[in-house]
Chain A
Amino acid sequence: MPVTIDIHTHPDFFEAVNSDLDQLEYHRQALGLYHATIAPLQHVFNQMNCAGIDRLVLLPLDLTTIDGRPVVSNEEMVKITALAPERFIGFASVDPHRPDAVEALEHAFADLHLAGLKLHPSRQKFYPTDSELTPIYECCLRFNKPILFHAGISLEPDTNSKYARPEGFEEVAIRYPGLRFCLAHFGWPWVTETAALLLKYPNIYTDTGLLYFDSAREFYDHVFKTELGEHWIDRSLRHQVMFGSNNPRFEQIRMIDALRHIGWRESTLELVLGMNALEFLG
Chain B
Amino acid sequence: MRYLIIGNSAAAVGAVEAIRHYDRQSAITIVADEPHHVYSRPLISYLLGGTVDETRMHYRPEDFYERNDVETMLGVEVTQIDVRAKTVSLAGGGQVGYDRLLISTGGKPFVPPLPGADLLGVYTFTTWQDARRIDHYIDDNRVESALVVGGGLIGLKTTEALIERGIAVTIVELADRILSTTFDRTASKMAESILRQHQVEARTGTTVEEIIGRTGRVDHAVLRDGERIDCDLVLFAIGVRPNTGLIPADSGIAIERGICVDRHMQTTIDDVYAAGDCVQAYDMLIDACRPIAIWPNAYRQGYVAGCNMAGVDKRYEGSFPMNSIEVCGVPTISVGLTDPPRDEDYEIIDKYDRDALVYKKLVLYHNQLVGAIFVGDIDRAGIYTGLIRDGVDVRPFKEHLLSGSFGLISLPRDLRKHMVVGEGIEV
Instruction: Answer yes or no: do A and B interact.
Output: no
B residues sitting closer than 8 Å to A (CB atoms) are: none
